[in-house]
Each structure stands twice: as structure tokens, then as C-alpha cells.
Structure 1
Amino acid sequence: MRSSWKLVAAGLATTVVAAACGTSGAGEVAQDPTAPLELWVRTTPGGDGEKGMKKLAAAFEKASGQEVEVTAIFDDFETKLSQRAAQKDLPDLVLNDSSQLGAMVSQGIVREVDLAAVKGSDQLLEPALAAGRAGDGKTYGVPYSAQASALLIRKDWRQKVGLPVPTSWEALGALAKAFTTQDPDGNGKPDTYGLAVPGSTKRGYASWYFSNFLWAAGGDFITAQADGKYTPAMSTPASLAATTWFRDLACTTKVVQPGAATMDTPPTNETFEAGRTGMYVVGPYLLPRFDSALGKDKYEVVPMPTGPKDATVLAEGGSVYLMAGSANRAGQDAFASFAISAEGQKLGMAGEKAFIVQLPVNKTVDISSVRADPRWKVYAEAYRAHGRYAPSIPNWTAVRQSSADTINALIADCDLPVEAELKKLDTALGEALSQQGIGAS
């Protein structure tokens, strides 16, 4: 599969180079600054995300006079993008996860961003700006939205068991145990659990969730070297300690919901809103859902407890990608400039559901100016102080998936030896890094 991926990436790169070359022989597509912009966004057609993006596009059109056509695609997004690359007809703009930067650069389907041409790029928060850089140090994405993790707690349960908001892993474990053993919902049945965990291998969920704990312990999946290469790091002492602690939540204290190893996020979300789990590490995008299902008074949003090293949490977000071969590069730059402007950021955050900016990436924008709810401030502060993005390597998905397979196996089979499994994982990660040309010798 990995060999096939490399061949596909090479083929796409060739395709896009051909698409980007004009007949003049100068390697340039003839430019038309009035040409309509075609924008693809990874979201459900007809959903709130599409509505929010169309709202932003309409505001940009009004401000610039530049026409934008928005297309929402969720299923088979990469496949459809590959098809358009093969047709030498890429959309002008793609709004996609920041974590896809490495793959899109490897495929050759995005152009380098000239930050001098993107007005307001000097106002971007450094973590967001760094997420737009590839391993070669060049910028290929313009981040427009961010998110980070915080801890959701059933406040009514916590008050019933008489424990404080946890600020350490030890306190987190104690509260999780109390939620599991002290009948916090008062129904007289042993049917509650301390921590909701999406431990499935699907899309690497187990690894995605675990990263919040791994990094806070000082561990890592892979470690960057001075020469830009990477080494596997899952069998280091810090990673081993973090994995063992996390595994014990499922296997020793048994404070994780049953069946966690088979659950991705949708069923895990349901355990929290249905009153089967009392804590959940998650981003701000679920607040509207849980407010409706539980009520704001039933749960609280607090910073992640500090781990053995610090309180680092997973940071993610979306980026504006300027696609190769566009006949309107000036329009691409103008849209990216509008998306990161104070006006674009505030517009993107507005609304109860149809918002496309989770947390602002423009350092001049205070989230409280749009959302008075102090819970959003908790997320914004976590992002700015403790957020960490996955590295922009050619294929982060391969690393996430391999590590998810191992984390999933360890919580599904409590007899597996942790250290031995992590050493096997490091071998697999080393092979993946070498195949991507970034493995340290």
C-alpha cells in the first residue's frame, strides 16, 4: 500500500506540473485576475460547514468583487481531488485539514505561498503559521482555523462524589475511578465509567486521542533530528510510561467505557451525552451538541490536567491551500488574506452552528469578542499556551495509523506486553519514515 501511495503521489505531481505549465514555455499559466475562483471545502454537503463557508465566500465577494463558487465534499474527498488533478483542472482553492499539508505537498498539487502577497499573514499566531510550513521550510498552507483539546467533566457527577477539578494525572485517575465505582448518576447500577475513549483503529483515532497524553508525558511518536530527519520514539522511557499509564486506565483500574477499542468518535460522543462516561478529552466543536443533549449546567470545560512533563495538547485546524495551476493567483492570495483578516475570522466564528472558525488564528482577534461563553476561552488559551500540531511530514497518516493499531491492540488485549509492542511499533515507524525519505540513518 505504501509503495502504491508513492507511485500515486509521483503521478499526481507530474500531472499537476503539466497542468501548471502554459504554452509559452515559461512554465506559467496565463493569468486572469477576474477569473472566478472554484473553492472546495471538506465538509458535509448541505450541512452547517457548507453554510458557514458560503457565508464567508459571500462576504469576500462583496468586499472584493471576486466571484467564488463553493463546493462541499466529504466522502472520497482525496479521490475526487486526484481525479481533478488527472484532468489537469484542479480547483483554485481547497480548505482542508492542516494535517494534510505534507501529503498535498508530496502530491505536488499545491503551490508555495508567498506570505508577502497574503495580507495580514504577519498577524498569524506562530503555531498556526508553523502548521502551514512543510519539512523544506517553505509555506504551502494558510491556516484559517484552529482547535485544541480540553477536558469535559460531568459537573453534577463531580459534585456528587465530592472531588475537585483534576489538575494532575493522579487526580484525573482518582476522579475517573470515583465516577466508575460510586454510582454518580444515582441509579443504583454499576453502569458509569470515568473516561470516554475513542480507541478504534479507524482513521487512527486511538493514536489521535492518545497524543494528548503522550506529549504531556514528554513522549513522542517520532522525534525530529537536526538534519530534518526523524527517528521512531514510541519505545523511549517517556513514551513507554505514558502508554503504560493510559493502558492501565482500560486494563487495571477499568475506568474506560467497555468496547472503547471498537469505538470511533460518534459512539464515544454518545457515551458522554447519554450519561455512561463522565469525562471526555475533546475539541470545542462538540459544545453545541452537548449543550443540547445534556444542558450547559450538567458539564464543565476545564484545562487538561498537567502530565509528567507539562500540559501539551493536540492542536489541529484547517488551512487554505492555494492549488497549483490556477489562472487567478491574485484571487487565491486575496481570499487567503480575507480568511485570516479580523473581519474574516470574526465572521467565521459567528453563529451557534454554521461557524467554520473554531478558534481564531489571527493574534489580534479575541474569541470573547464574538463568543461570550467563557468555555471557548478555555480552549483558546489551551491552544495558545499548550497546543501542538502533528509534524508536517510527507505522510503523517502512516505514522498515526501504525501507532493507532498498537495503542488499540494494547487496550483491547490486556495480556500484551507493552514494551515489546512498542518496540515492534518503532520498527514499523522506522520503515514508514524511510519509505518517505525522512528516516534517520
Structure 2
Amino acid sequence: MARSLRWAALGLGAVLVVAGCSTSGAAKVEQDPKAPLELWTRTKPGGDGEKGMKKLAAAFEAKTGQKVEVTAIFDDFETKLSQRAAQKDLPDIVMNDSAQLGSMVSEGIVREVDPAAVPGTDQLIETALASARAGDGKLYGIPYSAQASALLIRKDWRQKTGLPAPKTLDQFVALAKAFTTQDPDGNGKNDTFGLAVPGSTKRGYASWYFSNFLWAAGGEFIAKQPDGKYKPAMSTPESVAATKWFRDLACTSKVVQPGAATMDTPPTNETFEAGKTGMYVVGPYLMPRFDKSLGKDKYEVVPMPPGAKDSTVLAEGGSVYMMAGSANEAAQNSFAAFVISVEGQKVGMEGEAAFNVQLPVNKAVDVTTVRKDPRWKVYADVYRDHGRYSPTIPNWTPVRQATADTINALIADCGLDVPAELTKLDGKLAETLKQQGIDAS
């Protein structure tokens, strides 16, 4: 697909540069309203995610006549996208994590979105729409799917202990201790633990998981200032208290599974379904899997109990990114509008496993009209009332990675001093913010 773009190398990536335009504004390419759309989706080839996206694309084609060619990529997604950028031949649409917004805008590979050109944008949940706005306040994507964290509990274990589903953090810890010490599976062995924790540094998992506890306690990784810039915030009293509390789960109460500091999500998932851990803070995407491996009757889904400040939990999702240099911008807009429409949202949610819309982002769509399981409503309510996305900065990855390295070290080595380590971390975060030009110091 021909694209007339001019590029310049910057660091390790290719960045679009257009004289007289913003970094996200590509020089106008000759438009062809019949040109097919090339769509990349970040999911495993041949898996349920690819099947679901192809189903969504087929529904769009049936409605509009516009062809969409779907390519599923999971491994080295960003590297392959950078390669296509260097070749001046980006796909037209990229379906990617909302957390990638800052990086993609900084690289200049996405174009700014005019909300008026995408019908239905005004029907999006504001929390979701805000996740697609960059630091300049402009829209660079259209969110189409969301998720938030809730608490999965082994219901059969909890009933055996006689304890209630936790509504406070004290009850949360009490239940975790009971799962660890009272042999809830009845096998006569001391081999169960209260909480599943993916505490690995890989892809920043320790930070990703900890955010559910940090924000609810009033802490921050980085704190936004009135001028829109940021200060490191991991050594504030609120963040220190949250970190100590979380660290104590592993070091004092010892309710976290052994080896948590080396585990990313796949082995952590296995501890829950194999009956080694009794609670897990995670999104709705694992329910189909656990329903098969454990059975619906074995576990329950409840909101996380509030922290010292509120009940904020991590929200995530996917966005439709309209890549710069497309020869069919009208079709880009049309596809995004379809995906967020009532029809498109429902198509995306259909099926037990092959779904591309976790929770709807359109205000007019009730998840229970498609998914009759009331557990999905728990997740939808948590998202709407308590979900929070990671800050939209030029590159969130180094912030997440640095904080993950420190949280991981603290749960792996119980002898480390928490305030001292968090002060060191803030020094690293200050440098990261400075490098990105968003430091307020």
C-alpha cells in the first residue's frame, strides 16, 4: 500500500517528521476510498483473540462493504511495528493496549483523531475516552474495550473457614491467613497460600499488580502537578505505607505463594487453578479459563475492599489506533465508529472465549445483555466506579519497569529497608521523567 511519508531516525526508533505539521500529523497521502484496511491486532496467531477480531472485521465488511485484512502478532509486536515504520509502510489500523498510547504518539506513527469524524465517540464512557488522550489533551485513539481488577476467591475454601468475603483490608488479610494456615483444601498438608502474586520484574508485572493496592491507599508512582508535569511519588508517606503493607503479605504474614518474585502471570494463574492460592486480584479475561479448570462453583468474584483512600483499581483496555500515512482515512474512521457502536460492541463480546471486547466502553451497552453471568456485571461496575488507567506520559514502560524492580526486590529480600529503597527509586524516576521532558522539578 503506497504511502508518501518522510522519516528521520531518532534513537532506536523511526519517527515521522513532516515539515509544518505536528509529529502526529502526516503529510496528506492521496486517498483511495476503496483501498482495503490492513489491521494488526496484538494477540496470538490462531488463537481466540484472532478469531474474534476476524469476526468483528467480517461484521464491519458485511455492513459497509469495506475490506479489512487482519494480521495477528503477539511476539515482538513493537519491534515489527517499528520495522514497518522504517519501511514507510505502516498498517492502517493497530489494535493495541491503551497503555501504548504515549509511546506511539512520541514515535509519531499515529494520527490525531477528530472526534466529530468518528460517530459514537460522544457515547463512550469518559474514563475510557480519557485513556486515549495524550498529555497535550488531544485524542490519538478510540478505546473499544476495557477491563478492571476484581478479587477472585476460592468460594469453597472461604465457606470452610467460615469467614465472609472481605469488605475491608483487615478482613482481606484475615482470609489470606486462614487460607494459608487452616488447610482449606483438606489434604492434611501445609501447601496452600492466601494470595496469588505475579511479582516478577518481567514486563513490569510486580508494579502492574501492586498498582491495585498503591492507588487505593492514596499512593502514586508519579504525581501529576498543576502544570501537567510530574514528580516522583514513591517515597511519599502514602506510597511508603502501601508498600510496607504489601511487602508484609510476603514477609510477615507469609500469605503469598512461594517464588512469587520469579513469577509472571502464566505460573501465577496456575497456582490459583491448581489449588495452591485462594485469592487473586485480576481482570475478567481469566474467567473462561478458570470456569473450565476449576468450575464456576469453586470461586467467586467480588470487588476489592477499599484501601486507606478509596477502592481504586487498575483499569486497562484496548484502543483502535489510526496509523499515520493511510490511503483510506475515511475507512479508518468508519471502522473505529463501528467497533464502538452498540452493534460492534456486542459482536466483540459474543462467545465464551473468542471475544475481543472484555467490558463495553459504550454507555448504551449493558454487559449483561450479552453475558448473562452476573460476575461480568461485578467487573463492569468496578470499572465504571473505581477503574483508573496508568498515567498517559510519553513512555510509561520505564516507570513501570523501575517500580517493578524495586517492589520485586522488597518482596524477595525481607531485610531491605522500605523507605530507603523507595527513596532510591524516586531518584531513578526523576531521571526518567527528566529524559521524557515531563519532570516538574
User: One fold, TM greater than 0.5?
Assistant: yes
Distance 2:262 2:436 in 1: 30
Q: Is the 8 A contact 2:57 2:68 kept in 1?
A: yes
Shift of 1:68: 0.5
Superposed displacement of residue 439, structure 1: 0.6
Q: Residue type of the partner of 1:37? A: L
Q: Detail structure 1 runs of 4+ shifted over 4 Å in the superposition.
A: none
Question: For 1:7, which of 4, 11, 35 is the aligned residue?
Answer: 11
Q: Distance in 2 between matches of 1:439 and 1:97?
A: 25
Match of 2:433 in 1: 433
SS in 1 for 2:158: helix
CA displacement at 1:228 relative to structure 2: 1.0
- AA partner of residue 412 (structure 1): A
Equivalences for residues 281-430 of structure 1 within 5 A = 281-430=281-430
For 1:32-111, list aligned pairs within 5 A.
Answer: 32-111=32-111
Take 1:13 and 1:185, find their aligned partners in 2: how far apart are those partners? Answer: 57
Q: Secondary structure at the match of 1:12?
A: strand
Aligned residue for 2:357, secondary structure, equals coil
Does the Cα contact within 8 Å between 1:12 and 1:82 map onto a contact in 2? no
Q: 2:11 is paired with a residue of what secondary structure?
A: helix
Provide the residue aligned with 1:150 in structure 2.
150
Partners of 1:150 and 1:27 in 2: how far apart? 44
Q: 1:145·1:356 contact (CA, 8 Å) conserved in 2?
A: yes
Paired with 1:13 and 1:419, the residues of 2 have a C-alpha distance of 42
What does residue 270 of structure 1 align with? 270
For residue 6 of structure 1, report the CA deviation from its aligned partner. Answer: 6.2
CA contact (8 A) 2:44 2:72 kept: yes
Match runs of 1:187-202 below 5 Å: 187-202=187-202
Whole-Å separation in 2 of the counterparts to 1:156 and 1:301: 13
Aligned partner of residue 336 in structure 2, secondary structure:
helix
1:8 is displaced (CA, Å) by 2.7
Aligned with 1:84: secondary structure? helix
State the AA in 2 paired with 1:336: A
Corresponding position of 1:239: 239
> Which consecutive residues of structure 2, in runs of 5 or more, have no partner in the other structure?
1-8
Q: What's the CA shift for 1:33? A: 1.1
For residue 16 of structure 2, give the secondary structure of its aligned residue in structure 1.
Answer: helix
SS in 1 for 2:12: helix
Per-residue CA distance 1:316-341 (angstroms, 9 max, x = gap): 00000000000100000000000000
CA separation of 1:336/1:91 partners in 2, compared to 1, >3 Å: closer, same or farther?
same
Q: Deviations over 1:173-201 (max 9, x none)?
A: 00000000011011111000000000000
Instruction: Tell me what 1:30 maps to.
Output: 30
Cα distance, 1:7 vs structure 2: 1.5
Tell me what 1:133 maps to. Answer: 133
Matched AA of 1:187: N
Between the aligned partners of 1:231 and 1:186, the Cα distance in structure 2 is 49
Question: What is the match of residue 6 of structure 2?
Answer: none
CA distance in 1, matches of 2:169, 2:296: 25
Whole-Å separation in 1 of the counterparts to 2:164 and 2:254: 21
RMSD: 1.3
CA distance in 2: counterparts of 1:109 and 1:8, whole angstroms: 14
The one-letter amino acid paired with 2:261 is A
Letter paired with 1:318: G
Distance 1:366 1:343 in 2: 12
- Which amino acid is 1:409 matched to? A
Residue 245 of structure 1, CA deviation: 0.2
Q: What is the distance in 1 between the residues matched to 2:158 and 2:52?
A: 36
The letter for the 1-side match of 2:247 is R
Letter of the 1:367 counterpart: V
TM-score by length of 1: 0.96
How many Å separate the matches in 2 of 1:267 and 1:332? 38
- Mapped to 2, the partners of 1:351 and 1:373 lie a distance apart of 13
Gaps of 5+ in 1: none
Q: Residues 225 and 6 (structure 1 numbering): CA distance in 2 closer, same or farther, change over 3 Å? A: farther
Whole-Å Cα distance in 2 between the matches of residues 384 and 177 of structure 1?
A: 31
Please list the CA deviations of residues 229-248 of structure 1 after superposition, one character each: whole Å capped at 9, or x if unmatched: 10000000000000000000
Kept in 2: contact 1:198–1:265 (CA 8 A):
yes
Q: What is the identity, as a one-letter code, of the residue corresponding to 2:214?
A: L
Mapped contact 1:13–1:106 kept (Cα < 8 A): no
- The answer for the alignment partner of 1:116 in structure 2 is 116
CA displacement, residues 391-415 of structure 1 (integer Å, 9 cap, x when unaligned)? 1101100000000000000000000
Residues 412-438 of structure 1, C-alpha deviation per residue, up to 9 Å, x if partnerless?
000000000000000000000000000
Aligned to 2:3: none
Question: Does the Cα contact within 8 Å between 2:27 and 2:325 map onto a contact in 1?
Answer: no
Separation (CA, whole Å) in 2 of partners of 1:167 and 1:243: 20
TM-score w.r.t. length of structure 2: 0.96
8 Å CA contact 2:169–2:305 kept in 1: the answer is yes
The structure richer in helix per residue is 1
Question: Given that residues 49 and 356 in structure 1 are in contact (C-alpha distance below 8 angstroms), is that contact kept between their aligned partners in structure 2?
Answer: yes
